[in-house]
Structure 1
Amino acid sequence: MENTQQSSLADALVIEHKSLSELDDVHIIINWNEIEKTLSSLYSSVPGAPAYPPLMMFKILILQAWYNLSDEALEKQIARDLMFRRFIDLSLCEPVPDHSSIWRFRQLLNTENLLEPLLEQINTHLEQNSIIVALGSINIIDATVTEAKQSRKRKGKDDNNTQDPEASYNVKTAVDGKRKTTYGYKMHANTDEDGFVKKMSYTPGNVHDSQEFDKLLDTYKTKDKIKTCGEVYADSAYANKKNNEKIGKQNNKVLHRAYRNKPLTKQQKQDNKQRSSIRYVVERTFGLLKLHHGLGKARYLGLARNKARAQLIAMSHNLKTGMNIFKEMQRLKGLRGYCVQ
């Protein structure tokens, strides 16, 4: 999508460099006009139209999640980074949105319940460009813990506990048998085989993984019942009679669970080994979200704000992954064209 804004003399004087166009491929794989239509309700439904175009503000939040920046750091980065300005279509002659405007717009997206539709819309655009495989896609479901911004018990004013009141304790037994306790939240996600986040939810840390299972499943309705789209891979925490019936025998790739006096059979162990080799994709995705996007530590107090941040992180991850796949597709297309010649 081309920049539709009027270029200033200052913009015309900028010397082109490949570093300025690093994010340009995103404009090819995403139809920003459709995203803008989704955001257009923000003009009419909320008193006082935003000072900046909603699409520009949304792109700013994508950059924030992409580069793991605070609101204040993001404001500074936009002011001095030509690539950021190019991505959001902000002229050198225009003022930069301040950090409070960024914060308010993120809150607005959350209160208007637009973040989930936006994630679905981005994924649809990636499907339309053959970057996400829709037909025959699998479901890899898991959860990861995010430490709360204020996770330790400390005395604040009036001797009140300063811990985030909406977070809670998560206790997990590690591979080495040691128990690890984290005070925070959980991101539950369904990814495909390429690591794209298809669906996600966000809860306090004490919510059991299996409780979010229904929200994450990729399903479709038939005349008789709701069926699962594709095979479902998950760890043994999701293994129970209810889930097994929901998934169906053919699509059930949940790890077998051993019970007291009922150890796993040789075949079940082999099944688990094969299923784990595919299930690791969701763990790799969580690792990337924590390493590059800061998902491991909550930035705000409260469930709603941190959920909004996690949803934006999922979108930015999908865009980043999609752009890398698109570049590889273009490279291979160029090689094929070269071979033909």
Structure 2
Amino acid sequence: MMFKILILQAWYALSDEALEKQIARDLMFRRFIDLSLSEAVPDHSTIWRFRQLLNTENLLEALLEQINHHLEQNSIIVSLGSINIIDVSVIEAKQSRKRKGRNGNNTQDPEADYNVKIATDGKRKTTYGYKMHANTDEDGFVKKMTYTPGNVHDSKEFDKLLGINKHKNKNKIKTCGEVYADSAYANKKNDEKLGKQNNKVLHRAYRNTPLTDRQKQENKQRSSIRYIVERTFGLLKQHHGLAKARYLGLERNKTRAQLIAMSHNLKTGMNIFKQMRSLGDCYAQ
């Protein structure tokens, strides 16, 4: 029941207090978590403690894998021939500016950091916060994710997102399918890990070495696939409140992001299941 409560929280972007009130007065919420009218609603402190327990016991990554495995068993996620689309999204910290608190202390989140991005118009955009790194498939399901301070380079989480199996004498990739990513991930080490067949990382132009016409065409095609992960981040921010961190500290915000990723996968899975059932009804007629 408690896990279902956290999924509801992620779906509707509710605080612990607001979630407690919503369960108390919404019959649909009660029905979803199998809570009868005569049963007491878990209070916000209980919700908080259960969420912290999932983190301290390191259960969240396994839960995401279990959800994805369940969706795969029901033919909603396609694993054979699945592709990997990797990207990162910057999340503003709850306290992003340096301000003095009541005791004169700096209230800025000490575990976040600055991310500097050059926009298409050449201007620098600086954000104090965190980064969510994600690997999605072609349907936008989050396969793996990590969470870091904003100053960590995108490529640092590449191995974790792809589940690279490291050996003493070799470094092989543990994945089936092509890997799409922007040019921030383009380097010699990643090229060797992926091999020519799986490497769909955008080509990078260097000083005195512009892109060839073929590379430009390949980048255009790869970008048309890569937008899927950008769309996923857009949904997580627009509908689940991921644009800004809710808590202070990396671990608590990482836990929230992991639960949001799970809720997104379940919601996406339900939508695909409805489409499959609708098509089945059409063929039956």
The TM-score range, normalised by the shorter chain, is over 0.9
Q: Aligned-pair distance for 1:160?
A: 1.6
Inter-partner Cα distance in structure 2 for 1:299 and 1:142? 22
Q: Aligned-pair distance for 1:157?
A: 3.5
Q: Aligned-pair distance for 1:225?
A: 5.3
Inter-partner Cα distance in structure 2 for 1:261 and 1:101? 60
Deviation digits for residues 210-255 of structure 1, max 9, x if unmatched?
Answer: 0000000155799975233210000000000001101111100000
Inter-partner Cα distance in structure 2 for 1:105 and 1:113? 12
Inter-partner Cα distance in structure 2 for 1:337 and 1:255? 44
Worse-superposed segment, 148-157 or 122-131: 148-157
- The 8 Å contact of residues 87 and 229 in structure 2, kept in 1 or not, is answered as yes
Alignment correspondent of 1:39:
none
Give yes or no for the alignment of 1:264 onto 2:211.
yes
Inter-partner Cα distance in structure 1 for 2:187 and 2:110? 31
Give yes or no for the alignment of 1:82 onto 2:24.
no
For 2:225, which of 265, 278, 286 is the aligned residue? 278
Give yes or no for the alignment of 1:207 onto 2:152.
yes
Q: Aligned-pair distance for 1:330?
A: 0.3
Q: What percent of counterpart residues are identical?
A: 83
Secondary structure, in 3 states, of the residue corresponding to 1:250?
helix
Alignment correspondent of 2:184:
237
Deviation digits for residues 195-223 of structure 1, max 9, x if unmatched?
Answer: 00000000000000000000001557999
What are the within-5 Å matches in structure 2 for residues 139-154 of structure 1? Answer: 139-154=84-99
- The 8 Å contact of residues 219 and 229 in structure 1, kept in 2 or not, is answered as no
- Give the alignment's Cα RMSD to 1 decimal: 1.4
Alignment correspondent of 2:77:
132
- The 8 Å contact of residues 218 and 229 in structure 1, kept in 2 or not, is answered as no
- The 8 Å contact of residues 171 and 193 in structure 2, kept in 1 or not, is answered as no
Deviation digits for residues 134-157 of structure 1, max 9, x if unmatched?
Answer: 000000000000100011110113
Does the C-alpha gap of structure 1 residues 225 and 162 become closer, same or farther in structure 2, counting only changes over 3 Å?
A: closer
Matched length = 283
For 2:161, which of 208, 216, 236 is the aligned residue? 216
Alignment correspondent of 2:194:
247
Find the structure with the greater CA-based Rg. Answer: 1
Give yes or no for the alignment of 1:109 onto 2:76.
no
Q: Aligned-pair distance for 1:175?
A: 1.8
What runs of 5+ residues in structure 1 fail to find an aligned partner?
1-55
- Structure 2 letter corresponding to 1:213: F
Secondary structure, in 3 states, of the residue corresponding to 1:211?
helix
For 1:98, which of 43, 46, 54 is the aligned residue? 43
Q: Which ranges of 4 or more aligned residues in structure 1 deviate by more than 6 Å?
A: 220-224
Inter-partner Cα distance in structure 1 for 2:212 and 2:170? 35
Secondary structure, in 3 states, of the residue corresponding to 1:184?
strand
What are the within-5 Å matches in structure 2 for residues 38-77 of structure 1? Answer: 56-77=1-22
Question: What is the TM-score when the length of structure 1 is the normalising length?
Answer: 0.81
Q: Aligned-pair distance for 1:174?
A: 1.4
Inter-partner Cα distance in structure 1 for 2:171 and 2:217? 32
Inter-partner Cα distance in structure 2 for 1:220 and 1:178? 39
Secondary structure, in 3 states, of the residue corresponding to 1:102?
helix
Deviation digits for residues 263-286 of structure 1, max 9, x if unmatched?
Answer: 000000000000000000000000
Q: Aligned-pair distance for 1:159?
A: 2.2
Alignment correspondent of 1:226:
172
Question: What is the TM-score when the length of structure 2 is the normalising length?
Answer: 0.97
Does the C-alpha gap of structure 1 residues 224 and 203 become closer, same or farther in structure 2, counting only changes over 3 Å?
A: closer
Secondary structure, in 3 states, of the residue corresponding to 1:261?
coil
What are the within-5 Å matches in structure 2 for residues 308-319 of structure 1? Answer: 308-319=255-266
